[in-house]
Structure 1
Amino acid sequence: MDTSPDKDPANARSILTDGPYPSLNPVSVSRLRSFLDALKAEGIYANLNLHVGYEFRPAVDGVPAIPGSARLPTQSKPLHLFHPAMIEKQCDFTRKVLEALKLKDDTVLAMVEISNETSLIDAWQKNSLDKLVTGPYRDELERQKSLFLAGRPDTPDETVRFLVERDRDYLNRMMAAVREKVGRLVPVAGTQIGFGGLMNFDSHRDLDYQDNHFYIDHYNFPNQRWDGRDWRIRDTSSSGTGFDRYLNLAAAREQGRPYTVSEFNQPFPNRQAAEIDPTLAAFAAFQDWDSIMHFAYEHGREWDRGAPSGFNINGDWTKIPNIGQSAWLYRSGAVQAARRRLAMPLPDEQRLASARGKFNGAVTKFLQNAIGFDANVAFVHALAMDPKTKSFTLPAEAKRVAAPFRSDTGEIVYDPERKIFTLAAPQAAGVYGFAGKQKAGAGPLEVELSAASRGFLALTLTALDGKAIPASGRLLLTVPGYTLRTYPGSEPERTQRLIPYPGASGWVTLEPDPTHPGKPSGAFGGGPSKVWMERVECHVTLRTQGKSVTVYPLDGAGTRMKALPARDVAKTSGGVRIHLQADGQDFAPWYEIVVK
């Protein structure tokens, strides 16, 4: 919202113009308010993030310059967290935005985040504070630290406490500006636990909820940040690597506070990306988190791209088939919350130890090193960290968990040896991971990949009529493969392939576009709209009480195509065996199953 201020208000690329901060763009304000009204009409809520990308300009905004540098650090981080003039201007921005958007007593505003992915204690743990805070900003921070110490010795613990208190002061002042304009009923968060770690429990103690972000296989830019034609990924998988990011999220929850994940993704062209939404939806529902938000629908103004582009859901046909099912899994109660929540002790000294050791957001790593915590307990029970406890004694259940890991509800199982995550709830079943050529089961469902498959699948089955799967008369089955765009200008048309990134083992990228032969990567955003999807041929055996089963492949709009032939829908004892994506069928990543 605050990124890319524009000289021409008509462009409406930002809520800001390029005038002195904070100069609001009236065109953007009007459009954003109209968008909020459209969301409200559909029952969709908004999360307002106050500082994401704005970078203060000394020559325009009346803040100090850094000698020898024309610019401040990227996005002004972390200077904006402690410099008095910057904080006051951000508070002014907050009041102006909330008032201009007329958000007081407006239920469309679900929550407010103050500052995206930054804190002073985060910068200190990353050893970047001295590099980023220089010149007059170093003088100001040292002045504030001297007042904080009040003659006490300057120790590492005192440094940690000082930075945390500076973070806390910034967050409280920004929260006060929010409260001034929208009242006390709108929940306010600060930044993410991954950007500050366990000491964020202290800096955020006056706020309303905790938030987090995570990515599987985020783009890496080895030379220039956000160079769309010089990037690489590992092509990793959650199911293939033990869901370590999920487990870390679970261990970062604070006891007694609402908990959200306001960004997550496994972006194109990762070949296992179909796993992210349904597995996280099931895991988050089991952990009883309060909100998960896939980042993002679209970054630009192309609302119907037709082809995958970066982090967008728009055009990402690997994710579109099961994202509706995933939202339903999370929101409907189809997946039971854990029957037990383990409150993990986290006294003050251990939070300090985590910061001293510079573990930052690596919560499970710290707990494993400190007290032998087995992160896999998050597959079995819900977790929360209790900062109010005085002891640091680990519950016996959290010391060692035997594989395969089964949730205390019995609905979720993760087998780290087979690298398969399964869901077996009354109205939902799923198999995700590297099934290979062996059968994998989940409740009333069993799947076997064809000999020609590469061995990975993300299959989700949900009842559409509110009944348990064996009694359901109408079901949706999704089994999307990975997607690639068409290589620009190819004749005959072919995929734009994944290739090894030059000179770096274990990294892949898209082959370069013909228009940029000197760059190592094809663009991760944009490109031809014709998309190629991996064929995931498999046999699915479904236990059902029905006497006849008809299976319809669905087109891109979810409309029925020609039903599968009888030879591909064979009766078995107590059910039916369905051959999906077989020769002669209309290929599709999703299917409607009608049972009579």
Structure 2
Amino acid sequence: MRSVVVNIFFASLLAMVVSPAKADGMEGWHRYQHNPYSSVPDLSFLNEKPSGQRGRVIAKRAELAFEDGTSVKFWGANLQAYALFATEPRHIKAQAKRIAALGFNLVRIHHHDSLWVQPNVFDASAENTRTLNISSMKRLDLWLEALKAEGIYIWLDLHVGRRMVANDQITWFEEIAQDGHADVRGFNFISQSIQARMLEFQRQYLGYRNHLTGIRYADDPAIIAVLVSNENDLTHHFGNRLLPDKQVPEHNQLYMSEAKAFAKAHGLSQRRTWKSWEYGPSKIFLNDLERRFFDGMSADLRKTGFDGLIAPTNFWGKMPVSSLPSLSQGSMIDVHSYGANAGLGMNPHVESDLLSWIASGQVADMPLTISEWNIGKFPVEDRFVAPLRMATLAAHHGWDAPIIYGYSQQSLNGPLQPSNWSVASDPAILASLPASALLFRQGHVRPARKTYAIRLSADALFDEEVSPNTSMALRTLYEQSAVVIELPEVKELTWMKPRRAASSAIPVEDLGQSFLDVDAGIVEADTGDFSRNFSEGVFSVITENSQLIAGAMAGHDIVLDALAVQIGQPLAFVSLQSLDSVAIEQSGDLLISFSARIQPANDDDPLFLFEPLTGELRVRAAPGLTLRDLKGNPLPSKRVEGWYVIDLEEISNLRWIRLGKF
């Protein structure tokens, strides 16, 4: 029997502070101190250790696969900023084990170069951003080796928050500098000196040899992907930085010259082509300008010997589909998406959510990764639902790598301040992360039966906004069936390969069409595996190996196939899953995850307020099972007419329990 608890260093699951909460509306809630070394269910058995032994990960049409042809899905987390360079070496191995225990098999290294992170990857004594900080690189080496040992793969960003300085020898630096530093996003697409500095860094970074192994980063098969430049595009965000009214005359002159030449070469209106804020010819031109830069950076990456996946930049910040052509030149489309809440009550007839924006980036016949997702506001009460919905929709669509932002942005040497950017010690998100990882990585939710293809002409692609904001078809489809975006042939973009869905896909040309009845209050997957009752704010999954219910459950007697729930709290989730790949009702090893609302006591310390659960769980499972906590201690339950009956008040201080043969 595999162990399903991992204890990190010296801490127990929750260190309870005796006094109950006194906050308004939270009478009876209890205060707990939660730490990034608390015990969690151990899903590390999902990982093949060490990572990298199957060779490179490659893009194989619409999926990711190892060189030996084995398909692979990644469930990942960001590790960023101070977590990278300020975590003490003695804690790095333990945290790598905990990351694996939570079910992650991919970590993205992020904010390695950002000015606000000190130390970062640059040598501060050099008074430029052209020299690597060897001490910082050695700390990254420790992380990489510890993660690899736990079967976790690595994604490296190249340019994120680097702020260039005068000593970096940037032409016309004074035009773009503020307080002695320059955010080069947007300008990099036309400035040869900025491009030269970025090329120089990626050669240094990928050419660096891990001091523990002697292997260059470029040659390490466990490093599966690089991102050329984070959240850096012209088509939607930074094209406006180059306009005549932005007081950057030298950069504007270059930009206007490029726009004029492109318009003349392709018979486009010169008056419209440079107007980056307008749809039409400008979007075609800006895609081409982006592509030229990214092609050069990618070609140089290949010269370093790196033959893994390359993402040019991200599909992010409410970008329309007219931004996809240049991104389609990478190995995959990479998306960033944040929501105001978990979207339980989102009515797809009238509004979009974080998952619909991800669906709008799925280009036909290409892999899709999501290197950043989360709830953008903290601490919304339903945030524990977001991982469950993400895992379910990712499995449904066949998305290849959801990566939460982030595991930690703070050093992992002790308790963390509450933050959505450091879920390592947010007990609300942690409560549902193992269930989400298990569901996604073991394929507990089936792929959609049908695929719908958003089919656009070149004019429709560029002449107006096409996005979840404007497309009812996309919003009402993505929770029912798979959705892909086709890219048409564009005569001005001779480098772009048209992307077509399989012949079995159902074409969608009327984006205003609704695929839900106008009075519908429920949207259901075409497999029947999950549904969302948006009129009541309830999400459910019913499959052989995973059953869960989340949302507004108070006052309802909810019965799934093998899970029945009566809960007195207004917002909660419960999941029941097989750990031994056997259907729930025959399994001898079941994981039950659950939580009501959890809120931080304040912003300055790791105290959280836990809402006690009341009510009853019933589980229909094989006879002869016993109920235990993660440490193996027996818990009270009884068996009545084939159901195990569990009183939630007797286990309300827990977040995970096991029902199995011990």
Pairs aligned (count): 512
Question: Aligned equivalents of 2:241 and 2:256: distance in 1?
Answer: 17
Instruction: State the secondary structure of the residue aligned to 2:471.
Output: helix
Instruction: Kindly indicate whether the alpha-carbon contact (under 8 Å) linking 2:114 and 2:163 is maintained by their aligned counterparts in 1.
Output: no
Q: 2:231 aligns with which of 117, 120, 123?
A: 117
Q: What is the aligned partner in structure 2 of residue 573 from structure 1?
A: 641
Instruction: Kindly indicate whether the alpha-carbon contact (under 8 Å) linking 1:561 and 1:586 is maintained by their aligned counterparts in 2.
Output: no
- Greater shift, 437-446 or 12-21, is seen at 12-21
Q: What is the aligned partner in structure 2 of residue 327 from structure 1?
A: 437
Instruction: Kindly indicate whether the alpha-carbon contact (under 8 Å) linking 1:303 and 1:314 is maintained by their aligned counterparts in 2.
Output: no
Question: Aligned equivalents of 2:238 and 2:418: distance in 1?
Answer: 37
Q: Give the C-alpha shift of residue 216 in structure 1.
A: 2.2
Q: Give the C-alpha shift of residue 135 in structure 1.
A: 3.1
Q: Give the C-alpha shift of residue 468 in structure 1.
A: 0.9
Q: 2:581 aligns with which of 463, 466, 472?
A: 466
Q: 1:589 aligns with which of 655, 658, 661?
A: 655
Cα deviation code 1:220-241 (max 9, x no counterpart): xxxxxxxxxxxxxxxx332122
CA gap 1:133/1:43 in 2 versus in 1, 3 angstroms = farther
Q: Percent identity?
A: 19
Q: What is the aligned partner in structure 1 of residue 51 from structure 2?
A: none
CA gap 1:387/1:66 in 2 versus in 1, 3 angstroms = same
Instruction: State the secondary structure of the residue aligned to 1:138.
Output: helix
Question: Aligned equivalents of 2:395 and 2:249: distance in 1?
Answer: 48
Q: What is the aligned partner in structure 2 of residue 191 from structure 1?
A: 313
Question: Aligned equivalents of 2:149 and 2:288: distance in 1?
Answer: 41
Q: What is the aligned partner in structure 1 of residue 526 from structure 2?
A: 408
CA gap 1:385/1:321 in 2 versus in 1, 3 angstroms = same
Q: Give the C-alpha shift of residue 415 in structure 1.
A: 1.4
Q: Give the C-alpha shift of residue 46 in structure 1.
A: 0.8
CA RMSD of aligned residues (A): 3.0
**1:175-574 equivalence runs, <5 A:** 175-183=298-306, 185-195=307-317, 196-217=319-340, 236-242=341-347, 244-266=353-375, 268-305=378-415, 308-354=418-464, 357=465, 363-368=467-472, 373=473, 375-388=475-488, 393-394=508-509, 399-402=514-517, 403=520, 404-450=522-568, 453=569, 455-485=570-600, 495-496=601-602, 523=603, 527-546=604-623, 548-552=624-628, 554=629, 558-564=630-636, 569-574=637-642
CA gap 1:70/1:281 in 2 versus in 1, 3 angstroms = closer
Q: What is the aligned partner in structure 1 of residue 142 from structure 2?
A: 34
Give the letter for the 1:192 counterpart.
N
Cα deviation code 1:208-267 (max 9, x no counterpart): 1101011123xxxxxxxxxxxxxxxxxx33212247221231132100110011111126
Question: Aligned equivalents of 1:347 and 1:165: distance in 2?
Answer: 18
Q: Give the C-alpha shift of residue 131 in structure 1.
A: 6.4
Question: Aligned equivalents of 1:319 and 1:203: distance in 2?
Answer: 34
Question: Aligned equivalents of 2:368 and 2:310: distance in 1?
Answer: 12
Q: Give the C-alpha shift of residue 381 in structure 1.
A: 0.9
CA gap 1:203/1:49 in 2 versus in 1, 3 angstroms = same
Q: Give the C-alpha shift of residue 68 in structure 1.
A: 9.6
Instruction: Kindly indicate whether the alpha-carbon contact (under 8 Å) linking 2:588 and 2:622 is maintained by their aligned counterparts in 1.
Output: no
Q: Give the C-alpha shift of residue 166 in structure 1.
A: 1.2
Answer yes or no: is 1:55 the counterpart of 2:181: no
Q: Give the C-alpha shift of residue 268 in structure 1.
A: 3.9
Structure 2 unaligned blocks of 5 or more: 1-110, 210-215, 274-279, 491-499, 501-506
Instruction: Kindly indicate whether the alpha-carbon contact (under 8 Å) linking 2:321 and 2:360 is maintained by their aligned counterparts in 1.
Output: no
Question: Aligned equivalents of 2:526 and 2:381: distance in 1?
Answer: 31
Instruction: Kindly indicate whether the alpha-carbon contact (under 8 Å) linking 2:585 and 2:622 is maintained by their aligned counterparts in 1.
Output: yes
- Greater shift, 195-204 or 319-328, is seen at 195-204
CA gap 1:96/1:73 in 2 versus in 1, 3 angstroms = closer
CA gap 1:530/1:158 in 2 versus in 1, 3 angstroms = closer
Question: Aligned equivalents of 1:434 and 1:129: distance in 2?
Answer: 49
Q: Give the C-alpha shift of residue 477 in structure 1.
A: 1.0
Cα deviation code 1:442-495 (max 9, x no counterpart): 332121212xx2x1112221112221111122211111233334xxxxxxxxx3
CA gap 1:283/1:68 in 2 versus in 1, 3 angstroms = closer
Q: Give the C-alpha shift of residue 56 in structure 1.
A: 2.0
Instruction: Kindly indicate whether the alpha-carbon contact (under 8 Å) linking 1:463 and 1:475 is maintained by their aligned counterparts in 2.
Output: yes
Instruction: State the secondary structure of the residue aligned to 1:334.
Output: coil
Question: Aligned equivalents of 1:68 and 1:158: distance in 2?
Answer: 27
Question: Aligned equivalents of 2:420 and 2:354: distance in 1?
Answer: 20
Answer yes or no: is 1:98 the counterpart of 2:98: no
Q: Give the C-alpha shift of residue 336 in structure 1.
A: 1.2
Give the letter for the 1:136 counterpart.
E
Structure 1 unaligned blocks of 5 or more: 218-235, 486-494, 497-522
Give the letter for the 1:591 counterpart.
I
Using structure 1 for the length normalisation, give the TM-score: 0.79
Q: Give the C-alpha shift of residue 536 in structure 1.
A: 2.9
CA gap 1:300/1:587 in 2 versus in 1, 3 angstroms = closer
Question: Aligned equivalents of 1:215 and 1:428: distance in 2?
Answer: 26
**1:3-42 equivalence runs, <5 A:** 3-4=113-114, 12-15=119-122, 17=124, 19-42=127-150
CA gap 1:62/1:13 in 2 versus in 1, 3 angstroms = same
Instruction: Kindly indicate whether the alpha-carbon contact (under 8 Å) linking 2:242 and 2:251 is maintained by their aligned counterparts in 1.
Output: no
Instruction: Kindly indicate whether the alpha-carbon contact (under 8 Å) linking 2:410 and 2:416 is maintained by their aligned counterparts in 1.
Output: no
Larger relative contact order (Cα-Cα within 8 Å, sequence gap ≥ 6): 2
Question: Aligned equivalents of 1:68 and 1:350: distance in 2?
Answer: 35
Instruction: State the secondary structure of the residue aligned to 1:479.
Output: strand
CA gap 1:472/1:261 in 2 versus in 1, 3 angstroms = same
Give the letter for the 1:386 counterpart.
E
- Greater shift, 382-391 or 256-265, is seen at 382-391
Instruction: State the secondary structure of the residue aligned to 2:591.
Output: strand
Question: Aligned equivalents of 1:60 and 1:89: distance in 2?
Answer: 7
Cα deviation code 1:318-367 (max 9, x no counterpart): 1223212211211112221112222221232122023xx4x6xxx22233
Using structure 2 for the length normalisation, give the TM-score: 0.71
Q: What is the aligned partner in structure 2 of residue 505 from structure 1?
A: none
Q: Give the C-alpha shift of residue 26 in structure 1.
A: 1.5
Q: What is the aligned partner in structure 2 of residue 226 from structure 1?
A: none
Instruction: State the secondary structure of the residue aligned to 2:657.
Output: strand
Q: Give the C-alpha shift of residue 315 in structure 1.
A: 1.1
Give the letter for the 1:194 counterpart.
W
Question: Aligned equivalents of 1:249 and 1:175: distance in 2?
Answer: 24
Instruction: Kindly indicate whether the alpha-carbon contact (under 8 Å) linking 1:58 and 1:64 is maintained by their aligned counterparts in 2.
Output: no
Question: Aligned equivalents of 2:335 and 2:545: distance in 1?
Answer: 29
- Greater shift, 150-159 or 379-388, is seen at 150-159
Q: Give the C-alpha shift of residue 543 in structure 1.
A: 2.0
Q: Give the C-alpha shift of residue 433 in structure 1.
A: 1.5
Question: Aligned equivalents of 1:144 and 1:73: distance in 2?
Answer: 26
Q: 1:174 aligns with which of 277, 285, 297?
A: 297
Question: Aligned equivalents of 1:68 and 1:332: distance in 2?
Answer: 49
Give the letter for the 2:622 counterpart.
Q
Give the letter for the 2:567 counterpart.
L
Question: Aligned equivalents of 1:121 and 1:418: distance in 2?
Answer: 38
